[in-house]
Structure 1
Amino acid sequence: MGININISYAGWDSGYDTCKLITNMMQNNNQSPLVFPSLAKERSKGLISEKELGIGREFSKERMLLEVKDKDDNYYDFMVGDYVVTQLETGGANYEVDKYNAPEELAKLLAGLTTLHPNATSITVDTLVTGLPIQHHRNHKEDMRKRFEGKFEARLNNHKGEKVTVTYEFKNVVVIPQAAGALLYYLNIAGSENVMNNKVAILDIGGRTTDGLAYNQGEIIKESPFSANVGMSNVFRTVSNQLNIDENKIREAVINGEDTIRYNQEEKVIKEIVNSACHDVSREIVNETRSEWRDFISVIDKILVVGGSGKILEPYLKEDFGKIEVELVDNPQEANVLGYVLRGQALKSKEEA
Structure 2
Amino acid sequence: MPNVFQPDFRVPQTPGGPLAPHPLAAPEAPFSNPAITTADTHDYFTEVADDYRAWSPSYNMHFGFWRLGLNPLRREVMLVEMNRAVGRALKLDESGEPRLAQEASQRRRCVIDLGCGAGATARTLVGDDPSLYAVTVTNVAVQNSIAARLDARAGVADRMAHIEADYTRTGLPAAQADGAWAVESACYANGTAKADFVREAARLLKPGARLAVVDGFLLRRQPGRSAGWLHRLWADSWAVPTLAVQDDFVAALRDNGFEDIEVQSLRWRVAPSALHIPALATRFALVELWKARGRLSPWRRKHIVASYCALVLGIFWRDFDYCIVTAKRSG
TM-score (norm 2): 0.25
More helix by share: 2
More strand by share: 1
TM-score (norm 1): 0.24
